[in-house]
Copies of this chain bind each other. A is one copy, B any other.
Amino acid sequence: MKATILTIGDEILIGQIIDTNAAWMSQKLTALGISVVERVTVSDEHKPIVDAIRYCLGQSDIVLMTGGLGPTKDDITKVAIADYLGVGMEFHEEVFENIKKIFIPRNIPLSDAHKDQCYLPEKVEVLKNSMGTAPGMLWQHEGKQIVSMPGVPYEMKAIMSEQLLPRLAQRPDRKVILHKTIMTAGMGESSIADEIEDIVDGFDKELSIAYLPGLAQVRLRITAKGDDESLLQSKLDQAITRVSERISDLVYGYDEISLQEALQQICIDRGLTVGTAESCTGGYLSHLMTSISGSSAYYQGSAITYSNALKQKMLGVKEDTLKAYGAVSEQVVKEMVEGAIQLLGVDFAVATSGVAGPTGGTEAKPVGTVCIAVGSHGVIETRTILASKDRSKNIAYASNQALNMLRKCVLQAKIS
């Protein structure tokens, strides 16, 4: 099955925002064995949208459209689809009910624009939007399919995950495609490839591997493609086991689990509590942990000490240490961990201090230098890393490194 992705939006065409929706959609479709053969982005205008629908359907079996469905006046996708299909518009009560359910509890008055949202091109199958007011829509047309979804990322993702992907997974012509992803942290893509080269070279022809690098992490996605599901499953399982055993020190989980989820599971299993003391990561490390539902079972709290004064006041970092080594030093992050364990009353703490950039670097401590400490009472491990020149990348990279150090530290604690 071939798919095209058609994005509607001037803001993407003029370069104001980068289209991250399409990448997410491509990954999900690819995982179902659907080839994304083309992507098109057009402006919020009638004729280009109609032309693009025609072109995309010429290249594929299904076109997935996003954008141009909001309640305001730049909404013309629906009219273009109706004209392409040669149908009129009809009012959908269930869409209006969904809008009422969202707005009435919030005491937001319903406007005419909201009613307009409920008129959809005829012959539509409504794909419920659990995250917003604009519904997803699906049409069957001359043996092909047209899908339209709002461009707001979490709304599109909800409609895809809950409504569309389950439908697409059931199509009859489907080849069997199985994926499993090994999640690793602590080594780069090329070094991992060298490490497992002989295993990958020996893969059966049904198997392939993709290296998907992230910040301080690499995902290894192994794919099995063929006809016999149980044979493929056993080949995939074998490959996963062999690769995982070879690089066991790096593997923290499977199938899109995050480092913070892995950490949370370990801590909850062992009844351990955790907190952070952050300078350069500025709360991002704490945010990663608390982004997971259920984190309150192990994560207690944090001291974000951006200023040196607060490092001293909240965490008891010594003025002498700050003077002698500077705020970005292994000595200071070690004292931050000690202070955090005391202040937060936790079993384990992790601390960061660094030069996030883009300014503030020196020859001895260039932009991207980050000191990290993790530990419990008495046993504290420290490390200095050099990330990049980019502020947001440095914050994310240092946070992931810190999470991985903390995860390993908590794991070892059990063995000892």
Interface residues of A (CB under 8 A from B): 10-20, 22-28, 30, 35-44, 48, 51-52, 55, 58-59, 70-74, 105-106, 108, 111, 113-114, 130-131, 152, 154, 158, 179, 181, 188-191, 193-194, 200, 209-213, 221, 223, 256, 276, 278, 281-287, 289-291, 293-296, 299-307, 309-310, 313-314, 343-345, 356-359, 386, 388-393, 395
Contacts and interface: CB of A to CB of B under 8 A. Distances in A.
B44 A37 contact: no
B37 A293 contact: no
A26 B15 contact: yes
A210 B15 contact: no
Contacts of A19: 18-19
A212 B11 contact: yes
Q: Chain copies in the assembly?
A: 2
Given A20-B18, A190-B111, A386-B105, A302 B300 contact: no
Contact of A302 (B58, B194, B295, B304): B304
Contacts of A190: 71-72, 111, 113-114
A78 to B, nearest CB: 16
B307 A304 contact: no
A236 to B, nearest CB: 14
Given A70-B213, A304-B302, A344-B310, A221 B11 contact: yes
Nearest to A385: B106
Given A152-B213, A301-B303, A111 B191 contact: yes
Q: Could you tell me the dominant secondary structure of chain A's interface residues?
A: mixed
A212 B16 contact: yes
A107 to B, nearest CB: 9
Given A282-B295, A290-B306, 18 more contacts: A13-B37, A15-B22, A18-B18, A35-B43, A37-B42, A37-B43, A55-B55, A71-B189, A72-B211, A106-B386, A111-B191, A111-B194, A154-B393, A286-B286, A300-B307, A302-B302, A303-B303, A310-B345
Contacts of A35: 43
Contacts of A391: 291, 293
Contact of A48 (B27, B59, B294): B59
Nearest to A117: B190
6 contacts: A13-B36, A15-B26, A51-B59, A70-B189, A130-B389, A282-B299
A275 B296 CA distance: 22
Nearest to A343: B314
A202 to B, nearest CB: 14
